[in-house]
Each structure stands twice: as C-alpha cells, then as structure tokens.
Structure 1
Amino acid sequence: QTGAGREEFGRITFEFETSCTADCELYFMMDVNRKSTKIVESWEKNKTRQTYTHIMTKNASVSYTWAFQRTNQASDVSRNVARIYSITVSNAVDGVSSSCRVCALGAQPSSSACVPCPPGHYIDASTSQCTECPPNTYLMPHAAPGPDACKSCGPSSKSDKHSLCYSDCHFTYTEGNATLTFDFSSLGPVGSLMNGPSFTSKGTKYFHHFNISICGGKLAVCTDNVTDLSITDSQREKEGPNAITTFICQSTIIPASGRGFHTALSSQSINLADTFVGATVDNNLEGISVTSDLFPKTSKKVPDVNFYYRSLETTSSCESGRSVVVTLRCNPDKSTTGELSVPSQCPAGTCDGCTFQFLWESSGACPTCTERDYHQIEGVCKGRNQDLLYVWNEPKLCMGGVPLPAKKTQTCEGIEFWIHLGAGLGAFTAVLLVSLTCYFWKKNKRLEYKYSRLVMSANKECEMPVADSCAVMEGENEADMDDEVVYTKPSLLGKLKAIASKRNGDNYENVQLNSAHSKTLVWS
C-alpha cells in the first residue's frame, strides 16, 4: 500500500548500547551519493540497550557510518564502550528478503503476481485487492494492511489524494450567535523566518532558518547545499540534490562573511513537521499543547487560530517525534503577509528541543468582514434630502468579505417643517382653550342666575315669623341666658329638597335650640 509523499525505499535498524565513565557520544551518519556526510542521530553518555530505525525516503546510493568518541579525557579508556549487537538493512543492493509481507495481486482472477497499489490505496486482506481510502482520510505510512490504515483528517483539514491532510486556507469559528470566517490565503503558501544570530565555540556566526507551509497544499523546501541568498524565491524553492520537502523544516545558515565565501552555506536541514494534525482555537489537540505564556496576550476580540503539526520521525530526545504549533493572530497594523516570530525565552523556536512554537501576526489572519462590522451614520437634512454614510466599526478587525455600502440619499423633513407644524398646533390649541373658556364661563353665569332664583324663591317660602322683641328684658342678665337658638342655613341640596317637598305639601325647616338644661328644642 502506498501512503504519503514520504515513500519508503528502504530502512536500516540496529540494536546498540553505550557505557562511559566520562562524557562520550555515539554518532550515526549517512552519506548520500557520496556527496556529503550528514549526522542522522547522536547519543550522549550512557544508553541502555535499545533499537533505532531509520527510513530511507530517496532512491539513491547510501552509505551509513557509526562513530564513537570521547568529549573529555577519561582515566580508564577501556570502560568507554559502544556496542552494536545487530544491523538489519532492507532493500539493499544484492540483498535478500528477511521476511514476507502481504501484497496486492493483479486484477486477473488467476494472477499471483504482486502489484503496487496506487497512492491513497490500502490492501484489502479478504480480496488482496487495492482499495481507495474514504474521503478526507490519508493513508498512514508503514501501517498494517486493512481499512484501519486510513486515518481521518483533523479539524479544518482535508485530503484530496489521500496522501496527506492539509488546510484549504479557510477556517470557521462559531461562538454564541456570532460566526467568524477566516481566509488565510493572503498569507502566502510558505512563510520564512530567520532568527539569531548565534555563535559556535570558535566564534562562527550562524542562523536558524525556518520555512513554514500554512495552507494550500504547497509544501516548504529546505536544502543542504551552498545557496545564493540573492536569487529569486522561485529559484530558491527548486528542489536541490539534498532537499527536504515537508510542512515545516529548519536549516542552519552560515553567512558568506563568516567563512570568507561569496555565497552562504545552508546545511543540517531537518524535518520538523510532515503531518498536519488540524487547526482550532483550542490550546490542545491530540496531545500537542500550546504554552500560553510564551507570547504576549492579545487585547483583540478575535481569537487566535492554532495550526498543529507533527513529525513521525523519532529521536533519542523526542521519543514521540517533534511537534509544531503555529499561532495565527489578527493584527490590523501588520501587512497581509505578516511577521513571524519565536518566543523571546526560546530564541531557537523551542524550549525543550521537541515542541516548536511560532507566532504569525498579520492583517490577513483577521476574519472576513460582514454586516456586523460597519454601522450607518445619518447626515444633516438639507433641502429635504439626507445622506446616509456607512463606516467601519473601530477598531477594524476584519479583512475582505462584504464591502462598505455606497452612500445613499433619502428624502427627509427639515426643521422648518417641524417648526411650522409646532406653530400650527400651538395656535390651534390656543384657540381651542379660549373657546372652551368662553363656553364654560357663559354656562357658569347661567347656572349662577338659576341658583340665585332658586335661593330667592326658597327664602320666600321658608320665611320665619318676625319676633315681637329681640331686646333683653330689664332685670335679665345676658349671662343668665342659657338657651341658645342655632339657625342652620340650608344648603343648596336642602333647598332643592325643600322645593320638592313644597310641591308635595310638606314645608318645614329645622331649627336647633341648645339649652343649658341639655334640652333640644326643634322649631318647625
């Protein structure tokens, strides 16, 4: 079965251990086509008995070398030992098979010859035929035959040919009723970062150069040869004789001024990430975590989008392989291509040698604009016309998407209209109040006239007999007069009742007489 673009042409496996009384190191090196020797892996100090496997991904003539040396002078040299117990090489020239594996048979029913499966196909054990993986899955390399060899792509990733999963430059995030849509295509297919400088023990200056592929399916390229930094990007991206093509890779650059060359030297290219795990706003995905305190916090309301990568190659220090997290942050003050940076605490991009973290700030990492990102402003009404303008919300945290609507003009009623309307309503209200006042005044006069007529007629009907004398008799003291006559003036209601009773033949008026002997006399 055929997996990703990292096709296997052979592998070497050896079992070893080291025992040292002083500082020592075992090197495993590789020479491709007799051009240059490259250190594949190294082990320091004492190592227990273990097995290491290296996969050859290029069809070329390769020679392997082991070297063991002391870094400090030891008192007893005989105790510094590196032991290699076994070495197994597959697909060697003039070699033989050490074991058999399941293969796919030809399409003919009677065929017994093994045939290679197309990319993205696995071997069905029941039929011994090549079967294509389901959509949005990729075929894991070196997996056992069967449908389990096809692994689903992670969040916000896809696969067309089942060779690898990648991001299509689009990401969607929903929180509550708001949905943010991102388009990272403006960042470019590959981003580059050169940090440093650093210096060797002899004072030679060098840089670490990173190439990072975010989306679009185009991979990054790192080469191990002398590179002229003045050439164009398209020429630099051409694969050289010892090139590494992957999602994220690292090269060591020695500038020309440091060695007296006319061109810079690019060497020690390593693969940091050959598998795209997925993209999410979470700080953890499939065992890869983001260290949040490595970069300053963002004050923007737009969340950071984390791209997670992993390398399947294991090392002595990274038994689970390397992992990389690229954080995309919306920054309207940056250009669309943006700026890559590494943590200030870890200038090499990693603090432990196994997990690399990068921050990519760009205006191209902002979400696409929607109707929620602008608002309307109404202009002054002039000549019964009013302009409607649309402006972006500040600060503007979006790119592309919906454009601002054009200026609109609508009819309106100016302040003169409202003044005239108010004056008319005021005049009408004043006339209405005057009319109501006159009406009720006349009506009140009529009621007063009728009331006075009623009072006069009531007084004539209820007139009391005239007393013979109201003077105090001689010998009588005013203080001795204990009796008191209280005359109560009838109210309007009483007078009306008196008039009604007159018609019924009953006509009387009550007068209360208060006496000192607590006797009440009523005069009718």
Structure 2
Amino acid sequence: YDFSPFVGRSWNISGVRVFSREGSAYYHFFTVALFPPNIKCQEQYDNFDMIGLLDQDKEAVEGLACRVTALPTPSSNRSKTAYVTPLLVASRLDSITTSRTHGNTSLSDEVLEYDSHDNTSRPLDVFFWFDRVASLSSTCPNGNQLVVVARCLPTKKQMEMRLPHSCPDGTCDGCLFLVIMETAQACPVCESNDYETINGECVNGKQTIHSIPKKHCVITGAASQTKEVACSAFTAFQKTLLTILVLSMVLLSIGFICICRRNRRLEYKYTRLIESHTGELPAVETCGLDEDEDDDEGWFDNWGLQDRVIFSKGRRSAPNNSRTTLRDHRENDNAAFISLDSED
C-alpha cells in the first residue's frame, strides 16, 4: 500500500440535516485527519445574534478528528452558520489493518454496506482504528472511538469521504463513529504479476505499452499506465530466422576455408611425391677434393708416415686374462695394421 497521499491532509464531512419541532435546522460537521499534524475545532459564532452565546468563552478541542454542531440561520443578506459544542472524536492513530475487529469492537455487514455484495464481490477495505477518547456522557462509559474505512475503488481518482448510509449522522450508537473514504489510493500497489500489458504497434522505432491493472490494485511509483520503448521492425520469428541464416553462413565460410587449406597441403604433398619418383636429383657441382689430389698421401706425408696401411677385417679375440697390460694393448693395436711393404 501507498498511503503517502494521506499525510498532511484533512477532510470535512457534513452529516444529515435535522429539523427541530420549531423548524430550525442543524447538522453535525466532522473534520478528520488520518496522520499528524493535529487539527483544531473551535466554536465560531462571530456577529451571530444568539442569546447566551456571546457572553461565554469559546470552547475548543484539538486532535486528529473532531465534531461540531452547525446551526444555519438565515439573515437578511445571506445565510450564516454558527459552530458550537465541539467534541473530540480521535486523538491518536492506533493501528492500520484489514480486520474489521479491533479489541472489543466489531463492525457489522450492515454498517460496512456489505449486504448488497456476496463474498467474492466485496470491496477491499483497510481500517484505520483510532484510540478511544474519554467521554463525559454516561451513555459511552468506554469513551468515544473513531474508525475510518479506506475503501479501494481503482476507478475513483479523487478522494471522497462520506458517512455510512446506515448511520447518516456518523454514528449509530453515539459512541462509535464511522467514516468511509472511497479512493484508488486505498488499493494495494500492483506487483509485476498483478497486471497485464498490451503492446501497441511499432511506429518510427517507438512502441507504446499499456499496463492494465487488475481489479484490486493500482499502478503507482516506478510503474506507469503507459510508456514508450524502442522497438524493431522485425518480428521475433524474423529475428530468429535471420540469426540462423547468419550463423549458417559463418559456419559454411569456416568449413570452406578449412577445406581449401587442407586441399592445398594435399596438393603440395602429392607434387613432392611425384617429383621424388620421376624426377632426377641434380648433379653435384663441386667436390671437396681435386682430381689430382690424394687425401691419404697428403695426410700421411704431414705426419711423416709414407707407408700405407690397410685395416684388417675381423674381430679381435678377447684376452684370456682380465688383467692386461699396456704393452698387450699396444701389441693388439699394432696387429690391426698391416704394412703394404710386408704384403709385397
């Protein structure tokens, strides 16, 4: 609920007009505030020609709700009204609840005007219960008490306070006072699942969204009944189809690139394979030795060894004894070389 529009406000309510036996009329005039600051009710009869009133001090009461008796009297120029006998009805707000029972006090269906409604069509009410105020009358030993019934009417934008039809003077027993307030501000605030939205057409990139609240809730605060949002000319199906086409083109392009690169590698390998079977290796252009140069002779000449040696093939026999001397190794090494002179 959002009761912030009720703060700092007061309402005036007039009861039914009653006529005395002499024909004089009077009615009760209420002033009600749900939240502080307090209001003041004071007798008003300036320039009013009434015997016995001008000689008395003006009485006044102060609280959240009070009642005065209005005495309209016609004059030669215009009607004048005197307000006398102020009565304090409420001084402090006690509780805000959806229950019709508070302490020993319970409101009937007749007082709440539920007789013409069944259980499913009853209005949604919030009850503002006020503390009891001491009374000097013996009729109300527990004092006077006020209850304001805030009735949810989503279609009623302007607040209206009235007295119940069953008690047109504001009270049925003289002790319990009842006021009915009909307004959309008494309805609970709609949540995300309490209203349905209707999307308008997309015109020039703008779309109007209408929010329709349910029967017993109102849209206030962050949400509004109509709002404009950016939109696209493509429908959801068209967007999905376009996304699928773009993804398909990307996948096909990636697959085509992979196949081309694979074919290029296979073509290169196939070309190398064909050349290795049918082609000839190029001839050696240079050689490490000249034709008339003998590598063996030059090497041995430098070391003073002119005799050529030939490495004998065959495996050397292993020595019988594991302990061999350096001399045995040298003899074995010399045996591996055979002089060319000895062969001659």
Equivalent of 2:44 in 225, 228, 233: 225
Q: Which one has the bigger strand percentage?
A: 1
Distance 1:261 1:387 in 2: 58
Aligned to 2:61: 244
Distance 1:332 1:244 in 2: 35
- Does 2:137 align with 1:318? no
* TM-score normalised by structure 2 residue count: 0.56
Aligned to 2:30: 210
* TM-score normalised by structure 1 residue count: 0.38
1:352 to partner: Cα distance: 1.0
| Residue aligned with 1:271, SS | strand
Distance 1:316 1:251 in 2: 20
Summarize the alignment of residues 69-468 of structure 1 with structure 2, pairs less than 5 Å apart. Answer: 181-186=1-6, 189-215=9-35, 217-226=36-45, 241-257=58-74, 263-297=80-114, 303-309=124-130, 310-336=132-158, 338-378=159-199, 387=207, 389-393=209-213, 395=215, 397-404=217-224, 405-410=227-232, 412-413=234-235
Distance 1:408 1:319 in 2: 66
| AA at the equivalent of 2:59 | N
String of CA shifts for 1:457-511, please: whole Å, max 9, x gaps. Answer: xxxxxxxxxxxxxxxxxxxxxxxxxxxxxxxxxxxxxxxxxxxxxxxxxxxxxxx
Q: Larger Rg: 1 or 2?
A: 2
String of CA shifts for 1:188-219, please: whole Å, max 9, x gaps. Answer: 5211101221111211011110011112x112
| Residue aligned with 2:150, SS | strand
Q: Structure 1's 314 and 275: CA in aligned 2 closer, same or farther, altered over 3 A?
A: farther
Distance 2:76 2:23 in 1: 11
C-alpha contact 1:225 1:266 (8 A) present in aligned 2: yes
Q: Structure 1's 194 and 187: CA in aligned 2 closer, same or farther, altered over 3 A?
A: farther
| Residue aligned with 2:137, SS | coil
Aligned to 2:329: none
Higher relative contact order (CA 8 A, sep 6+): 2
C-alpha contact 2:71 2:83 (8 A) present in aligned 1: yes
Q: Structure 1's 289 and 382: CA in aligned 2 closer, same or farther, altered over 3 A?
A: closer
Q: Structure 1's 391 and 209: CA in aligned 2 closer, same or farther, altered over 3 A?
A: same
C-alpha contact 2:125 2:151 (8 A) present in aligned 1: yes
1:368 to partner: Cα distance: 3.3
1:350 to partner: Cα distance: 1.0
Q: Structure 1's 272 and 368: CA in aligned 2 closer, same or farther, altered over 3 A?
A: same
| AA at the equivalent of 2:169 | A
1:304 to partner: Cα distance: 0.9
1:273 to partner: Cα distance: 1.9
Distance 1:370 1:273 in 2: 34
Q: Structure 1's 334 and 414: CA in aligned 2 closer, same or farther, altered over 3 A?
A: closer
String of CA shifts for 1:292-313, please: whole Å, max 9, x gaps. Answer: 3223337778731101122133
Question: Identity across aligned pairs (percent)?
Answer: 22
| Residue aligned with 1:272, SS | strand
Q: Structure 1's 266 and 391: CA in aligned 2 closer, same or farther, altered over 3 A?
A: same
Q: Structure 1's 276 and 417: CA in aligned 2 closer, same or farther, altered over 3 A?
A: closer
Distance 2:9 2:200 in 1: 44
| Residue aligned with 2:21, SS | coil
Q: Structure 1's 285 and 227: CA in aligned 2 closer, same or farther, altered over 3 A?
A: farther
Give the paired residue count. Answer: 227
Q: Structure 1's 375 and 317: CA in aligned 2 closer, same or farther, altered over 3 A?
A: same
Distance 2:202 2:87 in 1: 68
Distance 2:180 2:41 in 1: 20
Q: Structure 1's 270 and 261: CA in aligned 2 closer, same or farther, altered over 3 A?
A: farther
C-alpha contact 1:274 1:312 (8 A) present in aligned 2: no
1:402 to partner: Cα distance: 2.1
Question: Where do 5+ consecutive residues of structure 2 fail to align?
Answer: 48-56, 243-344
Distance 1:306 1:288 in 2: 12
Q: Structure 1's 408 and 392: CA in aligned 2 closer, same or farther, altered over 3 A?
A: farther
C-alpha contact 2:201 2:208 (8 A) present in aligned 1: no
